[in-house]
Structure 1
Amino acid sequence: MIDSHTHILPNKPNKLIEEFGEEKVLLEMFSNEQKISTPDELMESMNLNNIQKSIVLGYGWTNFSLLQASNQFNLNIAQKNTSKLIPFFSINPMFKGNLEEMEKCINLGGKGAGEIHPSIQELDMYEKNIWKDSLKLLQENSLPLIIHSSEPVGHMYPGKGTAYPENIYKFIKLFPDNTIILAHWGGGLLFYELMKEVKEISKNVYYDTAASSFLYNPKIFELAIDIVGSEKIIFGSDFPILSPKRILNEMKNLKEQDLMNITEKNIKNILNLN
């Protein structure tokens, strides 16, 4: 079993601000004592929940020095725990050194990019020229991009942002051949795959379950399987915000093959781990 959406930080938020200066991610998402995790705490949770591997994602950093430090931290921790952790790396195409940083991370074993956060990073998802070089590099290396997505209705919460289905869909149309994982059920974009046009454009799009228990009724799993198929759903918890145990419990009555696809097979295929 693989948890495809977890986060760790190289230090406590206040210490990172002291070292690197102001960072919108820390100010917006960690201002109210939100949970943070150390690598040891992550692996302890994995052992308790029978999770063999976890993907450690980056954040949507707006401070390039902190982005680099976070990437190096994820890569170093994963190299020390190769049987347990799979590193992704943060990107921000607005930074001059973004491509060089991406290439470095790929050479050091990074398996994907993200999680990007369009709102916090103030990224224009409609402007192809901003993204084309980054997406080309990912496609050339058969690496996925994971995008924070959010619902256009419902309550506000730290880090929710405005990466709504309409905005994300326009981005997907620009890069339909890239493998894209939409966090948090794509903010509901999966429901629009009932439309033939959206389904075709989204052929390389996957949806992760991160923070699902905070956002959706457990029926979301059966509905999503009916709409897009279990082959397009990826288990992610959003640890440490949400324990994987809670989401796994909501999936316990799924068919065995669907559960296998969601918790292991799909992400292995994407990352060529088979």
Structure 2
Amino acid sequence: MPVIDAHAHLYPPEVNASPAAWAAARGEAHWATLCTRVRKSGRPVQGFPSVADLLRAMDAADVERVVLLGWYWEKPETCAWQNRFYAECLRLHDDRVSAFAALHPEAGLAAVREEISRAMDAGFSGVGELSPHSQGIPVDDPVLGEALAFAGELGLAVNFHVTEPDSKDYPGKIATPLADFARLARAYPETTFIWAHWGARAALDPGIGAEVRALNNVFFDTAASPLTYPPKIWREMADAVGAGRILFGTDFPLVLYPARETEPCMLSLADEARTSELDDDELAAILCGTARRVLGI
């Protein structure tokens, strides 16, 4: 059964060589807090693989394509820099790699529209992973709104980072109120939204769940699932919204099973999906079909 990993991250060699020093020099402290920390065991929360390492991890897990998501950087210039790196990844490996563009509204409307247009021309499939809450941007920011509308006009999906409100505290955790994302989905009905990390189970929420389930332009990815949710989440979300609204994503290169793994791996989460209570049609949709349909890849 084909697999598309619709939520992964990758960084250029200068980041991988010394992540903390690079972040300090770039003024990307929040990224450093999240991505260079270690667990209580002393092991890193994630790896910093090269493009070649990514391709090997894909082959080991029989992943036919990966979608590289941008980061919610603090500096607009870092967003543009990552987008150039991803464009080169697409140029060299367009048979295996797709990408989403990073954006920061503080760049201004003209620059943001130009960045989205450039990404479209380079073959990108979407925009994100966005997190206005992490960037200190109001969700009603007019530049953000124009970016969401423009992405919709171009047929580019938009991925939002959504934090589980009931998860344990960790360094760098930022609250992302679910109602904010629902409001944006209502305001831009022509734009396709993907809420990362199961959308913090918004579709199951007793308060906002019914509204979320009715938002047909909202989809959900499974990124980092085992770090927050038990395996029953697959069945619960499929029952709530249907497998046709769920995209498989790992959040590679996060280490998803730190109790038993020391390196990032795509295969383990795919195996969790395969051993869940999903039937074959649901599994096919989540592992590949929804991404192909929604992202056109």
- C-alpha distance in 2, partners of 1:272/1:212? 24
The residue number in structure 1 matching 2:189 is: 176
- Structure 2 contact 75–104 (Cα < 8 Å) conserved: no
- C-alpha distance in 1, partners of 2:185/2:234? 23
Task: State which of 40, 44, 53 in structure 1 corresponds to 2:52.
Answer: 40
- Structure 2 contact 76–103 (Cα < 8 Å) conserved: no
Task: State which of 182, 185, 189 in structure 1 corresponds to 2:202.
Answer: 189
- Describe the SS at the equivalent of 1:52: strand
Residue 255 (structure 1) aligned with residue 279 (structure 2): yes
- C-alpha distance in 2, partners of 1:112/1:61? 17
Matches within 5 A, 1:42-121: 42-96=54-108, 97-121=111-135
List gaps (5 residues or longer) in structure 1. none
- C-alpha distance in 1, partners of 2:289/2:137? 32
- Structure 1 contact 78–86 (Cα < 8 Å) conserved: yes
Q: Which amino acid aligns with 2:194?
A: I
Matches within 5 A, 1:1-274: 1-10=3-12, 11-12=15-16, 13-17=19-23, 21-32=26-37, 33-35=44-46, 36-96=48-108, 97-125=111-139, 127=140, 129-192=142-205, 195-200=209-214, 202-241=215-254, 242=256, 243-253=265-275, 254-273=278-297
Residue deviations 1:92-122, cap 9 Å, x none? 1221222211211111111100101223211
Query: What TM-score, normalized to structure 1?
Result: 0.92
Report the Cα offset of residue 15 of structure 1: 4.9
- Structure 1 contact 128–174 (Cα < 8 Å) conserved: no
Residue deviations 1:218-257, cap 9 Å, x none? 0000111111110111100001103222211211142111
Report the Cα offset of residue 78 of structure 1: 1.7
Aligned residues: 270
Identity of aligned residues (%): 26
- Structure 1 contact 7–37 (Cα < 8 Å) conserved: no
- C-alpha distance in 2, partners of 1:186/1:105? 25
List gaps (5 residues or longer) in structure 2. 38-43, 257-264
Report the Cα offset of residue 266 of structure 1: 0.7
Query: What TM-score, normalized to structure 2?
Result: 0.85
Root-mean-square deviation over aligned CA pairs = 1.9
- C-alpha distance in 1, partners of 2:26/2:225? 32
- C-alpha distance in 1, partners of 2:49/2:194? 23
- Structure 1 contact 120–161 (Cα < 8 Å) conserved: yes
Report the Cα offset of residue 14 of structure 1: 3.4
Residue deviations 1:111-152, cap 9 Å, x none? 100101223211211x16232321121111111000000111
